[in-house]
A = this chain, B = another copy of it.
Amino acid sequence: MKPNFSLRLRLFNLNFWGIPYLSKHRADRIKRLGDFLNVESFDLVLLEEVWSEQDFQYLRQKLSPTYPAAHYFRSGVIGSGLCVFSKHPIQELTQHVYSLNGYPYMIHHGDWFCGKAVGLLVLHLSGLVLNTYVTHLHAEYNRQKDIYLAHRVAQAWELAQFIHHTSKNADVVLLCGDLNMHPEDLGCCLLKEWTGLRDAYLETRDFKGCEEGNTMVPQNCYVTQQELEPFPFGIRIDYVLYKTISGFYMSCKTLETTTGHDPHRGTPLSDHEALMATLYVRHSAPQQNPSPIHRPAERSLLISVLREAWTELGLGMAQARWWATFSGYVIGLGLLLLALLCILAAGGGAWEAAILLWTPSVGLVLGGGAVYLFHMQEAKGLYRAQAELQHVLGRAREAQDLGLEPQPAPLLGQQEGDRAEEQ
């Protein structure tokens, strides 16, 4: 590696809004997207909401001369909607599907059927190991009464843990995607505080695009204006986040968003705005290397975010258990009705009533049973995330008691007295 080593990376991220039969002008948009990506020749293209595998195959074929490597992350009933195109060979890839992702009976929202996930691809560039993650979290349908908040916080925690545990020998970590969270939202803070990832919009020296870096804006003709009413300038829910592990320094030279039109001023490529970032990786001067020990304000922010997430997951668990109990009563009611019907039928009376009530009774038992099982599994999933947070908080408290700095897990253990058996 040369002493004046510098690696330039150009990224493109877009939530493509590719719902077959529902998303407007899908065929035209994907054609224009392919043309644009071929002309621009980014290093990495990360897409979300490419729900149809045919769309991915179309892009793969169209982009193969410029982006020889591509992958579609499959999961759930419909898929994760995630795919990547790379100019460089993909050395390794894997994915993690989130344990919690909404409710199957919220069919009109549909997230549960998608198998939301995080995809990982490992690239080796100029001797550097580059872990790139692409993800799409559960949508927010009602900010005032967000019934999916606990699930999104749990997803953010799983995402943070997945990045934390799979990037330990990476030199560079990149995360792109639609987090469906505003920058100040709990899940977003949890993710950034736990992984140490930095927000390209806040770090860049040169930003061009929508006001406040927003990625869903009222100027976009595909956006439902009503949904953005409380936010006249739009919202920022798509991100490019990055960090280097050690010995390197990463900077975002430019960050650009589309502005409600396609990059050539036509109709937009999607209802979301695309993000285009130019990042540089360089050897770090000592003062540029982020300190492994957080400053006191940062430390207390981490602890407070962990605590807040713990509480939110607890509220979600209480709700899940309430639903499990409620559906338990529904099953009981269904069984009672069935028993009554059997008695009526055995007595030879009210045959018609028995036949009429047969379907709703069986429906109550089976429906209640399915809802019960679902919410039991939901409670277990939330409890799992809460227990992991509890463990991290416990380690932080132990470190504090020993007079050490509470810090993210990668560093927690290193300052603990290891009680090993050495013989």
B91 touching A409, Cβ below 8 Å: yes
The verdict on A304 contacting chain B, using a C-beta distance below 8 Å, is: no
Assuming the A-B contacts A94-B165, A387-B71, A388-B94, are A115 and B380 also in contact, with contact meaning beta carbons closer than 8 angstroms in the complex? yes
The verdict on A147 contacting chain B, using a C-beta distance below 8 Å, is: no
CB nearest neighbor in B for A157:
B94
B90 touching A391, Cβ below 8 Å: yes
The verdict on A297 contacting chain B, using a C-beta distance below 8 Å, is: no
**Digit string of A386-399 for contact with B (CB within 8 Å is 1, else 0)?**
01100100010010
Pick out which of these stretches binds chain B: A135-143, A220-228, A259-267, A410-418: A410-418
CA distance A76 to B99 in the complex (A): 9
The residues of B that contact A377 with a CB separation of less than 8 Å are 76-77, 115
B165 touching A120, Cβ below 8 Å: yes
Pick out which of these stretches binds chain B: A12-20, A59-67, A355-363: A355-363
The verdict on A287 contacting chain B, using a C-beta distance below 8 Å, is: no
- A194 CB to closest chain B CB (Å) equals 12
A416 touching B71, Cβ below 8 Å: no
**Digit string of A47-87 for contact with B (CB within 8 Å is 1, else 0)?**
00000000000000000000000011111110100000001
- A57 CB to closest chain B CB (Å) equals 13
- A239 CB to closest chain B CB (Å) equals 22
A77 touching B355, Cβ below 8 Å: no
The verdict on A340 contacting chain B, using a C-beta distance below 8 Å, is: no
**Digit string of A373-405 for contact with B (CB within 8 Å is 1, else 0)?**
100110011011001100100010010000000
A92 touching B418, Cβ below 8 Å: no
A384 touching B99, Cβ below 8 Å: no
CA distance A267 to B226 in the complex (A): 69
CB nearest neighbor in B for A361:
B359
The verdict on A122 contacting chain B, using a C-beta distance below 8 Å, is: yes
B91 touching A7, Cβ below 8 Å: no
CB nearest neighbor in B for A363:
B362
B409 touching A77, Cβ below 8 Å: no
CA distance A178 to B173 in the complex (A): 34
The residues of B that contact A127 with a CB separation of less than 8 Å are 418, 420
- A301 CB to closest chain B CB (Å) equals 20
B384 touching A75, Cβ below 8 Å: yes
CA distance A172 to B55 in the complex (A): 43
- A10 CB to closest chain B CB (Å) equals 8
A74 touching B387, Cβ below 8 Å: yes
Can you sample 12 A-B contacts with CB below 8 Å? A7-B423, A8-B421, A9-B421, A71-B387, A71-B391, A73-B384, A74-B387, A93-B391, A96-B96, A124-B416, A125-B421, A166-B168
Contact surface of A with B, Cβ cutoff 8 Å = 2, 5-9, 43, 71-77, 79, 87-97, 99, 113, 115, 120, 122, 124-128, 161, 165-166, 168-169, 352, 355-356, 358-359, 362-363, 373, 376-377, 380-381, 383-384, 387-388, 391, 395, 398, 409, 412-414, 416, 418-423
- Can you add 7 more A-B contacts, CB < 8 Å, to A71-B391, A126-B422? A74-B383, A88-B419, A94-B161, A125-B420, A166-B168, A169-B169, A362-B363
